[in-house]
Amino acid sequence: MSEKTPEEKLAEATAWWKTGIIDIHPGAISIRGYAIQDLIGTVSFPQMIWLMLRGDLPTQAQARLLEAALVASVDHGPQAPSIAIARMAASVGADLNNAMASAINVLGDVHGGAGQQCMELYQAIAADAAGDLPGAVDRALEAFVAAHGKIIPGFGHRFHPVDPRCEPLLALVEEARRAGEVSGRFALIGREVEAGIQRRTGKPVPMNIDGVTAILFCELGFAAPLGRGLFILARAVGVLSHAWEESQSGSRMKGPMPRTIPYTYTGPAPRQVPKPDRSKT
Amino acid sequence: MSEKTPEEKLAEATAWWKTGIIDIHPGAISIRGYAIQDLIGTVSFPQMIWLMLRGDLPTQAQARLLEAALVASVDHGPQAPSIAIARMAASVGADLNNAMASAINVLGDVHGGAGQQCMELYQAIAADAAGDLPGAVDRALEAFVAAHGKIIPGFGHRFHPVDPRCEPLLALVEEARRAGEVSGRFALIGREVEAGIQRRTGKPVPMNIDGVTAILFCELGFAAPLGRGLFILARAVGVLSHAWEESQSGSRMKGPMPRTIPYTYTGPAPRQVPKPDRSKT
Amino acid sequence: MSEKTPEEKLAEATAWWKTGIIDIHPGAISIRGYAIQDLIGTVSFPQMIWLMLRGDLPTQAQARLLEAALVASVDHGPQAPSIAIARMAASVGADLNNAMASAINVLGDVHGGAGQQCMELYQAIAADAAGDLPGAVDRALEAFVAAHGKIIPGFGHRFHPVDPRCEPLLALVEEARRAGEVSGRFALIGREVEAGIQRRTGKPVPMNIDGVTAILFCELGFAAPLGRGLFILARAVGVLSHAWEESQSGSRMKGPMPRTIPYTYTGPAPRQVPKPDRSKT
Amino acid sequence: MSEKTPEEKLAEATAWWKTGIIDIHPGAISIRGYAIQDLIGTVSFPQMIWLMLRGDLPTQAQARLLEAALVASVDHGPQAPSIAIARMAASVGADLNNAMASAINVLGDVHGGAGQQCMELYQAIAADAAGDLPGAVDRALEAFVAAHGKIIPGFGHRFHPVDPRCEPLLALVEEARRAGEVSGRFALIGREVEAGIQRRTGKPVPMNIDGVTAILFCELGFAAPLGRGLFILARAVGVLSHAWEESQSGSRMKGPMPRTIPYTYTGPAPRQVPKPDRSKT
C-alpha cells in the first residue's frame, strides 16, 4: 500500500496526532503557549475554558459574560431527560463518569443543543441585515420555518411564561455594551427575533435560556457549535450534582415511574407462535 | 400489585423524582434556595459548582482553591485515551455532545478517576492518624497494596519526572492554610504518602495531578467520588477543545495510526470452514 | 398547571410509557403477542431481532438473508475508530458495557451508519424509477451530490479494491429472488448505482459492505434508520470481542500510538501570561 | 525518551494494535482464519458471535443453547432504566447509535450485568465442590453475603414470582446434557443455589433470567465477564426496538413522567444570596 521509508512513515505517525492546544515535555506542560504553572492560581476557570477553545485569554469583561452564561445554564430540574437519565444511571450503580456520559450524550439539537441552532439563526441575520433588521429577521424566520418547521430554537418554553434567566443575562450584555466591551448587535437581533415571531404568530413566544445564551455567545464571537459545547460544560454540573444526589439516596434500579403505575401495552393480543418452517437450507 | 388509591399512587409518583438541588415553578427557578436571577452575575462558575454539589456557597478562599484545581486539570494532550477518543469521534462526524460522551465515559478508576481512590487513601489515613502520621501512612499503603496492587493512585507518572502542576497547587493550599482557611492536614498527608512510597520502594515516586488535586478536594471537604466528578468537569474542557479542533481539521474516519502503518495479526493461519453440520433440530 | 383529577393524571401516567413490543405480567412475558416460553428454543436470534423490530416473524428465507447480513458486518479490524475506542476503553479498565457504549456511540453517518443513507438513496430511486432505471439513478446521484458532496454512501473503499463481502451476499439475494422470496429490485438498483457512479466519475467505485447490506435490508423491507440499527447489532459483536481481547492483554492506559512516537504541537511558542487585569467588578 | 531507531519505533507501532480476531488485506478479510466469504451464508449469527469471542466455531448444540439464551434476553419492558433511557434519548432526536449507547452504558453490575456476578458465584462453587455440593453452595453463599450483601445475583425478581424464561432454558440444557453435549454440572449448581438461598432465608427466592442464562453460559464455558457481554448483545435488540418505536411516535423531549405530575423539592426554603465577599485576591 506504500513505498514509504520507515523515516517517512514515522514522520507521518508523528504528524497524525497534532494539536495547537497543548504542548507537553517531561516536567513541562503548556497550554496555548502559557506554562501551566503560570496559569494555575492566575486565571479563572471561565478564562481557562476560553483559552482552551479560542487560543487566547479573554478580557475580564468577556470572561464575566461567559461566566454568567455558564452559571445560568447548570440545571433545569430532575425531569429533563438528561437529568432523569443521569439519576437512573446512578440508581443502577453506574460510576459518575458513566452516568455523566449517558446524560451528556442526549444534549443534542432538541435538548440543550438548541443554542447552536439559535446562534446560526442570529449569525445568518447578522450577515444579511444591512440597515433593515426587521426585514432580515422576517426573511430568516421564513427560511428557518420552511426548512425546519415552526419551532424556533431559543424561543418559547413549555413551562416558563417568562424565563427568569433572560433579564439578568441581557442586563449584563447591556452593561458590557455601555462599557464598549461588546457591540450589543446580537442583543438587538435576539429581541427582534422575539418581535418577529410575535409578528408571525400573533402571540408572544418569549426568549428562553437557549435564546439568551446564544446572544452572549454570539456577542463573544464563539462559533455556533461551541454554543452547544459551552452549554454542555455548564449542564455537566447539573448532571453530576443530580447523579451524585441520587447515588446517595439508596435507590436501586429506579425506573421512570413507581412500579405501582404500570405502562400501557398497545400490541397484538396473545397468539400462537407459528409452527417452525424446517425447510431452512 | 397494589391496593393503593389513585391519590396514593399519584403521591408516590410525585415523590418519585425528588431533589434538594433545584425548585422550579412557572417563571421561577431557584438553586438550593437562591433565585437564579440573584446568582447570575454574582457568583463565579466554581462557586456555582460548589453550591450545586454541596448545598451552600463556598467562601472566596474555598472557591479559589477549587478554581485552581479545575484550571490545572483541563488537559493532558491528544494521546490520552479520552482525548484520542474525542478526536476520533469528531473525525467521524459525531456531534460535540456525542464526542464528549464517548470520551468522558472512560474517565474511570485508571484514567483520571484515580483522584477518587487517592482521596479514599488520604481519608483513611486521616481517620487512622492520631499523632503518628508516618505509621498511619505505612499501614494504609500496606493495606492498599495488599488489596489493589503496587500502583498507588496519585503518585508516579509515566511521562513527567516531576509534575509541574503540583507545586503551584500546593503553594495555594499553603497560602490558604496560613490564612486559616484550610487545615493543611491533607497536604501533610499527601507529602507523607510520597515519603512512605519512597520508604517502601527505595526510589522517589513523586506526586502527580491526581495526588495533588486529591489534597485540595480533601482540604475542601469533598466526598471522594466527587473528586472524580470535579476532575471530569475540568477535563470536559479539554475533551471539548480537542473534539472541536479535530472537527475543524477536515479529517474523516481517523483511525489511531496512519493507514500506512498496519496492525499485527496474531491469530490462526487461513483455514477451511468446517462442513456445516445440518443436524440442527 | 392542570385542573385534572388524580384519576386523570394517573391515567395519563399509565399512558406515558406505552409500547406495542412487550407485555409483562407477574410470571408472564410476551413479545408481540407471543409468550416468551414459546419463542425460546423455537425461533432463531435473527428471527427474534426481526420480530422485535417489525412486529411479526419473518419467513425462513427472510431470516436467512438478515442472518447473512449480520454475519458479514461484525468486524473490520482494530484500526476502525469504533474498535480502537473500545480497545482503549478496555485498557483503562472500563467494564464491557461501558467500552461498548463509547464505541457504538460513534457508529453514525460516516462510520458504519452509511448504510442508512445508502438505503435512502436506493429507496428514492425505487420511488422514482418507472421503467428507466439508469435515468432514475443518474437523477438521484445528481441530487445526492448536490446536497451532500461527492462521496456516495455504500460505494468505494479506502482499503479494498473489491469488498469480499459483496459477492456472497448478492448471491444469496439472487438465490432468494429465484425462489420468489424477494423481488430483486434493490439488487438491480444497487448494481445500477455502481454503474452510474462510473458513468459520472469515469472510474470504477465498487460497492462496499454498506452498499450491499443496504440492498438486503431494502429487499427485506426495513426502514432506512433500521439499516443503521441492524449494522450496530452486528458490529456490537466486533466491539465486544475486541474490548474483551484487549482487557485480557494486560495493557493499561493504551493511547493511540506507542509513547515513543510523540505528537506534533502546532500552537504558539512559549509566552508570558499577561498580568491579570484586576478591574473585574 | 528513547534511543530507538526509526525501524524499531515503526515495528513498535505495528505491534501496538494487534489482534488474533481478524486479518485484513486488500480484497481479503478473514475471521479467526476463516475467509469472510466462506462464513457468509454458512454460519448462523450465534455461531459467528461464538467464533468472534472464542476463536473457534461451536457445535450446533452449543450454538443452539447460546441462541436460546440470546432470544430469552432481548427485552423486559419500557420501564427498565436502560429502555427508558433509550426511549427518552430517541424523543430528543438522538440517532439510534447514540440512543443505544446511552442505554447500553447502564447495563452494569446491577442492571443486567448480574449474570456476570452469578457466573462467578457458580464457578466458585464448581471449583470448591468435591462431592458435597450443598456444602459448597452454603460456603459460597456465606462468603458472597459477607462480601456483597444479601441480594444474590441471579435469584429473586421484584416482579415475577416465577420467571417464565427459566423453565424453557433449563429444559434445553437438560436436552443437551442427555445428548452428551454439556455436562449439566452448572444446572445442578444453579438449582442447589436456589435451594441454598431458601435454606438461608426460609422462603423461596426463585432463579431469574440472570441466574438461568448464567447456567447456560457456564455450561458453554464462557468467562464470566462475557456473560455480561452476551446479555448486552441480546438486550441491544430491545434497546434498538424501543428507541425506534419511540422515534416513530412523535414524542419530543419526553421526561420520565407527564408534566402534570410535578416532582418534589426537598431543599432549603427561599433565601438571599449572601453579599459577595470582594476580598478575592
> DSSP labels for chain B?
-----HHHHHHHHHHHSEESSEEEETTEEEETTEEHHHHTTTS-HHHHHHHHHHSSPPPHHHHHHHHHHHHHTS---TTSHHHHHHHHHHHTT--HHHHHHHHHTT-STTTTTHHHHHHHHHHHHHHH-SS-HHHHHHHHHHHHHHHH-S--TTB--SS-SS-TTHHHHHHHHHHHHHTTSS--HHHHHHHHHHHHHHHHHSS---B-HHHHHHHHHHHTT--HHHHHHHHHHHHHHHHHHHHHHHHTTT--S--SS-TTSPPEE-SPPPBPPPPP-TT--
pLDDT score, position A277: 60
Q: What distance in Å separates the CA atoms of residue D49 and residue C234, rounded to the nearest whole number?
A: 9
Distance from CA of B139 to the nearest CA of D (A): 22
B141 contacts B108 by C-beta, under 8 angstroms: no
Nearest to B31 by CA among A161, A215, A73, A100: A73
* Cα distances (Å, whole numbers) of residue B142 to B114, B136, B137: 18, 10, 8
pLDDT score, position D277: 60
What are A111's three cell numbers?
A: 435538548
Greater confidence (A209 vs B278) lies with A209
Judging contacts by C-beta atoms under 8 Å, the chain B residues touching residue D33 are 267-271
Chain D partners (3+ C-beta pairs within 8 A): A, B, C
Give the single-character DSSP code of C131: S
Give the single-character DSSP code of C154: T
The dihedral built from the CA positions of residue B154, B158, B162 and B165, taken in this order, carries a sign that is negative
Q: D-side interface with A, Cβ within 8 Å?
A: 1, 6-7, 9-10, 13, 26, 77-81, 84-85, 88-89, 91-94, 98-99, 101-103, 105-106, 108-111, 158-159, 252-257, 259, 263
Q: What distance in Å separates the CA atoms of residue C169 and residue C238, rounded to the nearest whole number?
A: 19
Of the partner residues A74, A75, A233, the one whose CB lies closest to the CB of residue B240:
A233
Distance from CA of C74 to the nearest CA of D (A): 8
Judging contacts by C-beta atoms under 8 Å, the chain A residues touching residue D265 are none
D110 contacts A92 by C-beta, under 8 angstroms: yes
Q: How many angstroms separate the most distant Cα atoms in chain C?
A: 82
Task: Give the contacts of A125 (CB within 8 A, at least 6 positions apart).
Answer: A133, A136, A137, A140, A189, A192, A193
Mean pLDDT computed over every residue of chain B: 94
Nearest to A71 by CA among A91, A53, A45, A97: A45
> How many residues are there in chain A?
281
Q: Do D244 and C228 touch (CB under 8 A)?
A: no
pLDDT score, position D159: 80
Q: Do A260 and B9 touch (CB under 8 A)?
A: yes
Task: Give the contacts of D235 (CB within 8 A, at least 6 positions apart).
Answer: D73, D74, D75, D82, D104, D107, D112
Q: Do C20 and A101 touch (CB under 8 A)?
A: no
In which residue are the cell numbers 453440520 written? B277
**Positions in chain C whose pLDDT score sits under 50:** 1-2, 278-281
Q: Is the pLDDT of residue B60 over 80?
A: yes
Q: Is the pLDDT of residue B281 over 60?
A: no
Judging contacts by C-beta atoms under 8 Å, the chain B residues touching residue C13 are 10, 13
Q: Do B256 and C84 touch (CB under 8 A)?
A: yes
> How many residues are there in chain B?
281
Mean pLDDT of A248-274: 95
Under the banding of pLDDT at 50, 70 and 90, the label for residue A281 is very low
The CA dihedral of C233, C235, C240, C241, to the nearest 10 degrees, is 130
Q: In chain D, which ranges are E strands?
A: 18-19, 22-25, 28-31, 34-35, 264-265
For residue C269, the chain A residue with the least C-alpha distance is A33
pLDDT score, position D275: 81
* Cα distances (Å, whole numbers) of residue C155 to C100, C150, D221: 27, 11, 41
Under the banding of pLDDT at 50, 70 and 90, the label for residue A280 is very low
Judging contacts by C-beta atoms under 8 Å, the chain D residues touching residue C228 are 95-97
Nearest to A74 by CA among D71, D32, B49: B49
Q: B-side interface with C, Cβ within 8 Å?
A: 1, 6-7, 9-10, 13, 26, 77-81, 84-85, 88-89, 91-94, 98-99, 101-103, 105-106, 108-111, 158-159, 252-257, 259, 263
What are C55's three cell numbers?
A: 412486529
Q: Do A23 and C59 touch (CB under 8 A)?
A: no
pLDDT score, position A258: 95
Condensed to tens digits (0 to 9), the pLDDT of residues A162-175 reads: 999 999 999 999 99
- pTM for this structure? 0.96
Q: Do D263 and B18 touch (CB under 8 A)?
A: yes
Mean pLDDT of B62-79: 97
Mean pLDDT of B165-189: 97
pLDDT score, position B111: 84
Of the partner residues D17, D64, D277, the one whose CB lies closest to the CB of residue B257:
D17
Q: Which of A166-170, B50-54, B167-171, D5-9 has the lowest mean pLDDT?
A: D5-9
In which residue are the cell numbers 462557586 written? B47
C9 contacts D260 by C-beta, under 8 angstroms: yes
What are C214's three cell numbers?
A: 443496504
Greater confidence (B160 vs D269) lies with D269
Q: Do B18 and D273 touch (CB under 8 A)?
A: no
Q: Residue C181 half-sphere exposure, CB side, CA atoms within 13 Å? A: 19
What are C79's three cell numbers?
A: 484500526
Q: Is the pLDDT of residue B279 over 80?
A: no
Under the banding of pLDDT at 50, 70 and 90, the label for residue B65 is very high
Under the banding of pLDDT at 50, 70 and 90, the label for residue B277 is low
Q: What is the pLDDT along chain D (281 residues), one digit of tens a residue?
A: 447 999 999 999 999 999 999 999 999 999 999 999 999 999 999 999 999 999 999 999 999 999 999 999 999 999 999 999 999 999 999 999 999 999 999 999 888 878 999 999 999 999 987 779 999 999 999 999 999 999 999 999 878 889 999 999 999 999 999 999 999 999 999 999 999 999 999 999 999 999 999 999 999 999 999 999 999 999 999 999 999 999 999 999 999 999 999 999 999 999 999 986 644 44
In which residue are the cell numbers 481478524 written? D22
Q: Is the pLDDT of residue A114 over 90?
A: no
C76 contacts C84 by C-beta, under 8 angstroms: no
A185 contacts A126 by C-beta, under 8 angstroms: yes
pLDDT score, position C281: 40
Give the single-character DSSP code of C274: P
pLDDT score, position C277: 60
Q: Is the pLDDT of residue A1 over 60?
A: no
